[in-house]
Amino acid sequence: MIHTSIEICAGAGGQALGLEMAGFDHQVLVEYEKDYCDCLKVNRPQWNVKCMDVRQFDGHPYRGRIDLLAGGVPCPPFSIAGKQLGADDERDLFPQMLRLVEEIDPKVVMIENVRGFLGKQFDNYRKSIIKHLNHLGYNVHLQLLNASDYGVPQLRPRAIIIGVRTDIYDLFSFPNPQPELTKDVGNTLFDLMSANGWRGAEQWRYIANKIAPTLVGGSKKHGGPDLGPTRARQAWAEMGIDGRGVANEAPGADFDGMPRLTPRMLARLQGFPDDWSFGLRKTTACRMIGNAFPPPVAKEIGKKIKEVLEYASIDSRSETQIPRRAVG
């Protein structure tokens, strides 16, 4: 069964792709930046992409028609790499997500953000968001998930909020972690790293037998592509990878030293399929990849949401429906 969805702050499509694989039919994807919009349109021409400020997006026409409203609202307000201004940050789009929940009244809400959102300094703000969702008639689930538990070879913790409408039987549970199914960096990237005949590829695969640190995307304001701050680069170096920059292609046959990763390698570490295009500009591609939500994680969450929706579909034909909590 196909279920309808709307996604805001869609980025380069990581979450949207994962939800599509779980069986969701995107009615609209809202994204502000042109590079990201172009990426979405190139990879999925059939998707209805609205390249606009989400503040201007009206949810009323979709009221009663949407099963899932999803979005990875911008993380800078809560990121440890930023100033952690939270609700005082102009980039905080949680209020827009809550506005759209009220306008659209979806059956399920999914919100993704960085681990910093769970920090003690944001306790009151986080509680206010949950209270607002409760007031709108949603039961709320909140959990920290790590991408490496769901097939993505990367330590990428993300806070996930799921809201299930109170007139639906709430059987939602987060997907069970299966870290044993996740390959290490060396085995994940070996074919790409050896594509140009590098003689040291096999030895490198042996060294790169770990899970990668979190990929970073950065912003348009800060420099070119690299693999993060000093501590992250040290972790990459332990796997025989030069994290000071990003390469255009895999190392040649006689390459000596630590190779750099290419955008395609980064995309695979993020869980994107190899045919997902990020354009030809390396800096822009790396920013889109590093800021994305891993598709395999979104897929696993989407499958659990789909279980709720399909049970609700069966339940709607019975006499066991739960009255909707009054919103006043």
Catalytic residues: 75
SS3 of 269, please? helix
Phi, psi of 207 (to 5 degrees): -75, -40
Hunting for tokens 């046959």 — which residue is that?
253
Provide the H-helix boundaries in the chain: 14-22, 34-43, 94-104, 123-135, 185-193, 201-207, 230-238, 263-269, 282-290, 295-315
Residue 186 vs residues 223, 233, 244: alpha-carbon distances, Å: 28, 16, 19
In this structure, the number of other CB atoms found within 10 A of the CB of residue 233 comes to: 17
In this structure, the number of other CB atoms found within 10 A of the CB of residue 261 comes to: 27
C-beta of residue 131 within 8 angstroms of C-beta of residue 94: no
Name the helix (H) or strand (E) containing 4.
strand 3-8
List Cβ neighbours of 146 (8 Å cut-off, separation of 6 or more). 155, 156, 157, 158, 177
Q: Which of 129, 192, 193 is nearest to 161 (CA)?
A: 129
Strands (E), 115-249: 138-146, 157-165
Nearest-5° Cα angle at 73, 67 to 77: 155
Instruction: Report d(CA 312, CA 315) in Å as an integer.
Output: 5
Instruction: Locate 215 and state its tokens.
Output: 């990929």
SS3 of 233, please? helix
